[in-house]
Amino acid sequence: MPINYDELIKAGATGLTASYTDRETMLYALGIGFGRDPLNADELPYVYENGLKTVPTMATVIGWGASSILAKSGINYLMVVHGEQRLTMHKPLPAVADVTIDERVVGLFDKGKDKGAVLLVERAIKEAKSGDKLCTLVNTIFARGDGGFGGPKEGAPAPHALPDRAPDLAHECDTRVDQALLYALSGDRNPLHRDPNVAKMAGFPRPILHGLCTYGTACRAVISTVCRYDATKITGFDVRFSAPVFPGETIVTEMWVDGPVISFRSKVKERDVVVLNNGKCTLGQ
């Protein structure tokens, strides 16, 4: 079924509800690699309920599965790729919270019959009790098999340009061979990341790591270096996904620090492949 531009551009939902406890907060941090060394006093607060801290990118798994936009879009799921992820933090995530979620389509672009479509979905997450807005996410979805529906061709956000100089620093983060199995418990149970047979049908020799796990791992790199383990400094975290990671590989995040803006990209050390590109982390003043 082809995309109906007029219907999809109006799609959305308000007042979706979700909640998480300290268990989900610690599980997410473990899923992106915090706590490898249980004696690391800087990382322990992210995986231990005594003074528990939150990772900003946990916002991507809050209310996982609550969206209905893609299910009603007519998009071919088998040809969908998560293209970009943007995150704006309005205030730090509580360690425990009941939340409401408003979701809407903010962009739909037709790249051509043989080039696919680009869909931008915004999620605004608020704390239910206070009504305070916690964060806003924008997911860019690349639907490779759904171009040619007659929508606008231009207007999608331009990717952040990396500085034309050597990185100011780089940080290595290991991933475990069972990393995808652990991360899946935060919400995304797509068998592509856990089932070898499904991975082979998709053209991969073995299951690949969730892109949002790689995204969270890059955030871990920034937190443990520039932020000196104070994740509340992060007010924005945007990236473009460029290649998959296999669990067990080493993710090296290169960073350029220009005042409150940290540009970054992440590579797999073993294959020298860029897996996250055009990254932009914004720090509060």
- Just list the catalytic residues: 188, 193, 208, 211
Strand ranges of the sheet holding 80-89, from the earlier edge strand across to the other edge: 12-20, 97-110, 117-127, 133-143, 80-89, 234-241, 273-283, 261-268, 250-258, 169-174
Which class for 20: exposed (0-12), middle (13-18), buried (19 or more C-beta within 10 A)? Answer: buried
Q: 23 — phi, psi (to 5°)?
A: -60, -50
Would you state the structure tokens that stand for residue 279, as one six-digit string? Answer: 């990254």
Chain centroid, CA 19 distance in Å: 19
Residue 282's contacts (CB-CB under 8 Å, 6 or more residues apart) are 234, 235, 236, 237, 260, 261, 262
Question: For strand 273-283 and strand 234-241, is the pairing parallel, antiparallel, or unpaired?
Answer: antiparallel
